[in-house]
Amino acid sequence: MKNTKVFAHRGAAGTHPENTMIAFQEALRVGADGVELDVHLTKDNVPVVIHDETVNRTTNGSGWIKEYYYDDLRKLDAGSWFDEEFTGCTIPSLEEVLQWIAKTSLQINIELKNGIVRYENIEKIVIDLVHKYNLKDRVIISSFNHYSLVEVNKCAPEIETAILFMEGLYKPWEYAKTIGATGLHCYLPVAVPELLEGANIEGMPVRPFVVNEEKHIAALVRGGCSAIITDWPKQAIKIRDNLK
Ligand code: G3P
Ligand code: MG
């Protein structure tokens, strides 16, 4: 029953500025099994870890990531919007995070944000970095852009991929298999018992997002969910570990 892993959504985003090194370090500190993060490309094609297509919400700057050179993006403050205590945090490059992850035993879910902005070659760029740090066995690449996942599977079938979806699909494991994906990352409300049961029979991991409430965590752990993606890893671990 306690086999469900806890993945920290954008790092420990409940307590720390999302998608920053300090948020990932906090996830490790509290005992998370893995972290989830979001990737975009800068104008000079550097993969960077940030959720939105622009820097407006989570930094002191403004504008599209695709219009920023990496060196300029690094000058932005990505912590003070959350709390002044975190002033000075920067937007990490994916490389910086992977270099750090490689020294831990964390799993890492890399979400390719290749939907609203189409980042050419993002799949290959990310795959090369995963291999550079020898992380293929600890990485899951996910995306709402399933064409991107097909590309990942074509270039690197050895890396696990998972479809992200928001709708209540019927037998999504059958669809996932058609694109070579091996995991289901679904919006919490569609992680219904039928989906969990069917995926478990198929041996396909389900990792719903974003699971912050105790009743949902308990139900998913009891339902045999592979992992939950949560903003509050410390609390989620406690709830999971205290379940009878
Ligand atoms: O990967 C799970 C989750 O992060 C997907 O939604 O918008 O938080 O990236 P979002
Ligand atoms: Mg995400």
pLDDT, tens only, 182-232: 999 999 999 999 999 999 999 999 999 999 999 999 999 999 999 999 999
- The domains of the chain, with CATH numbers, are 5-242 (3.20.20.190)
What is the structure's pLDDT at 244?
80
Q: Is the CB of 38 under 6 A from ligand 1?
A: yes
Q: From the CA of 231, which ligand is nearest?
A: 1
Residues across the chain: 244
Confidence of residue 2 (pLDDT cuts 50, 70, 90): confident
What is the structure's pLDDT at 20?
98
Q: Under a CB-based contact definition with an 8 Å cutoff, are residues 24 and 244 in contact?
A: no
Q: From the CA of 141, which ligand is nearest?
A: 1
Q: From the CA of 37, which ligand is nearest?
A: 2
- Specify the ligand 1 atom closest to the Cα of 142: 1
Nearest Cα residue to 161 out of 207, 128, 93, 117 = 207
Q: Under a CB-based contact definition with an 8 Å cutoff, are residues 220 and 191 in contact?
A: yes
- The structure tokens listed for 58 are 């989570």
Q: Is the CB of 36 under 6 A from ligand 1?
A: yes
Parallel, antiparallel, or unpaired for β 34-41 and 47-49? antiparallel
Residue nearest to atom 3 of ligand 1 (CA): 209
- Specify the ligand 1 atom closest to the Cα of 144: 5
Ligand 1 centre distance from Cα of residue 61 (Å): 22
SS3 content of the chain, % helix, strand, coil (to 5): 35, 20, 45
Q: Give CA–CA dist 80/76, Å, rounded.
A: 10
Q: Give CA–CA dist 53/39, Å, rounded.
A: 10
Q: Is the CB of 229 under 6 A from ligand 1?
A: yes
Q: Give CA–CA dist 62/60, Å, rounded.
A: 7
pLDDT, tens only, 70-104: 999 999 999 999 999 999 999 999 999 999 999 99
- Specify the ligand 1 atom closest to the Cα of 38: 9
pLDDT beyond 70 at 1: no
Residue to probe by mutation, ligand 1, list 7, 51, 212, most atoms within 8 Å of CB: 51
What is the structure's pLDDT at 61?
98
Q: Under a CB-based contact definition with an 8 Å cutoff, are residues 166 and 145 in contact?
A: no
C-alpha radius of gyration, the chain, whole number: 17
Q: Under a CB-based contact definition with an 8 Å cutoff, are residues 140 and 109 in contact?
A: yes
What is the distance in angstroms between the CA of the first residue and the CA of the last residue of the chain?
Answer: 8
Amino acid identity, position 207: R
Q: Under a CB-based contact definition with an 8 Å cutoff, are residues 11 and 23 in contact?
A: yes
Q: Under a CB-based contact definition with an 8 Å cutoff, are residues 231 and 26 in contact?
A: no
- The structure tokens listed for 144 are 């709402």
List active site positions. Answer: 9, 51
pLDDT, tens only, 8-32: 999 999 999 999 999 999 999 999 9
